[in-house]
């Protein structure tokens, strides 16, 4: 799978209201969160029921889906370019229930002409939901590009109150 964090040493699969989530971690922190339908099971590192990073991520995700958490507080161990990491840091600053356009993200990182590069970095985000790439929408307010699919993006935005449930 493209973007799979090869430095992750352990994994955990959890169920959620949006389907199975695959959590990946290293000794340093959370290395990935992927939607279960996007990952090949035989490519995963071994399951580890005792890993503290995986346990903390699972707890915080359960709180998020129960409407009791609006921010995540977890150590990360993600691989990416400096540009990607700047974009991901800016995504993490988007408040719960708020959306931003790709252009707004580009402007906020000081590079307003990098809209397409922001889109690519957004798509390469290894920590879906936790680093909220689902909160990034088109300039015209449309739901665009999301690794889990647009229906999943819509469901996450409805959960957060950023979008009315009209489907």
Residues 25, 56 contacting (CB under 8 angstroms) = no
**Structure letter (DSSP) for residue 93:** T
**CATH 1.10.10.10 domain position(s) in the chain:** 82-159
The pLDDT confidence band at residue 95, using thresholds 50, 70 and 90, is: very high
Q: Quick one: tokens of 94?
A: 């988007």
State pTM to two decimals. 0.87
Q: Quick one: tokens of 23?
A: 């959590």
- Mean pLDDT confidence for 44-70: 86
**Structure letter (DSSP) for residue 148:** T
Q: How far apart are CA 77 and CA 34, in angstroms?
A: 15
Mean pLDDT of the chain: 86
Residues 104, 36 contacting (CB under 8 angstroms) = no
On the question of pLDDT at 121 being above 80, the answer is: yes
- Mean pLDDT confidence for 19-28: 90
Active-site hit among 10, 21, 78, 133: 133
pLDDT of residue 139: 87
Residues 52, 26 contacting (CB under 8 angstroms) = no
pLDDT of residue 43: 62
Which whole-number Å values give the CA distances from 162 to 39, 54, 83, 85, 165, in the listed order? 28, 28, 27, 25, 10
133 as an active site residue: the answer is: yes
Q: Domain 82-159 class?
A: mainly alpha
Beta strand residue intervals within 69-153, DSSP E: 100-101, 136-137
pLDDT of residue 166: 54
How far is Cα of residue 63 from the mean position of the Cα atoms in its chain?
16
On the question of pLDDT at 1 being above 50, the answer is: no
How far is Cα of residue 107 from the mean position of the Cα atoms in its chain?
21
Does 48 or 14 have the greater pLDDT score?
14
């Amino acid at each position: 799978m493209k973007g799979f964090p090869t430095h992750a040493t352990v994994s955990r699969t959890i169920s959620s209201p949006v389907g199975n989530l695959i959590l990946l971690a290293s000794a340093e922190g959370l290395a990935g969160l992927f939607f279960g339908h996007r990952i090949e099971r035989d490519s995963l590192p071994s399951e580890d029921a005792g890993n503290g990073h995986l346990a903390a991520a699972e707890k915080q995700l359960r709180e998020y889906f129960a409407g009791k958490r609006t921010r995540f507080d977890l150590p990360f161990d993600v691989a990416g370019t400096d540009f990607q990491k700047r974009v991901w840091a800016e995504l993490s600053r988007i408040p719960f229930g708020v959306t931003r356009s790709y252009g707004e993200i580009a402007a906020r990182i000081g590079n307003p002409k990098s809209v397409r590069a922001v889109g690519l970095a957004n798509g390469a985000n290894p920590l879906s939901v936790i680093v909220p790439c689902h909160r990034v929408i088109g300039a015209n307010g449309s739901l665009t590009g999301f690794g889990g699919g647009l229906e999943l993006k819509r469901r996450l935005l409805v959960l957060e109150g950023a979008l009315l449930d009209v489907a």
